[in-house]
Amino acid sequence: MAAILVFGGYYSAPAQSDLPTLRHSMKGYELYSWKTSKGWHFSLLVGTNRLKTYDEATSQRIRIDGVDALKKKLSQLPAGEEVFWATRRFRQMSRPPKRIVDELSSHAEQLGIKMSG
């Protein structure tokens, strides 16, 4: 019999990579993106009915730096998960250029993740 240990929203499960798998969210995940002089940054937060603050969405603790790092994080989501791009919530946020959005959308689709917004 297999056992699954849950710690802080993560659980270990057999997967294609050694990365921990994020838990399924009943309300999907919220994706935030913004650009600085150092490039594109993202955050991926569990969806809730509560509106997030700007400081919460851009916290250094959860910030994902760069497209490749975001792809790795998306790879931790279970197939069938939904990700909602929430950049319109704050004026400091924006979507990356279409090329990057298409690249991320294609990656999500390959993982069985629905990306919208």
Other CB atoms within 10 A of residue 6 CB: 9
Tally of domains in the chain:
1
Query: Which whole number is the average pLDDT over 65-93?
Result: 91
Would the pLDDT of 67 be above 80?
yes
Q: Could you report the per-residue pLDDT of 16-51, keeping only the tens digit for each?
A: 445 556 665 557 899 999 999 999 999 999 887 788
Would the pLDDT of 1 be above 50?
no
Residue 15 confidence class, pLDDT cut points 50, 70, 90: very low
Q: Could you report the per-residue pLDDT of 91-107, keeping only the tens digit for each?
A: 889 999 999 999 999 99
- Assess if residue 1 is contained within a domain: no
- Assess if residue 4 is contained within a domain: no
- Assess if residue 12 is contained within a domain: no
Q: Is 13 helix (H, G, I), strand (E, B) or coil?
A: coil
**How many whole angstroms separate alpha carbon 72 and alpha carbon 21?**
11
Which is nearest to 46 in space by CA: 1, 71, 9?
9
- Assess if residue 108 is contained within a domain: yes
Residues with Cβ within 8 Å of 73's Cβ and at least 6 positions away in sequence, in order, are 22, 42, 44, 64
Give the highest mean pLDDT range of 10-19, 81-90, 92-101.
92-101
- Assess if residue 27 is contained within a domain: yes
User: Which domain, by its residues, includes 35?
Assistant: 20-116
What's the chain's average pLDDT?
82
- Assess if residue 9 is contained within a domain: no
- Assess if residue 2 is contained within a domain: no
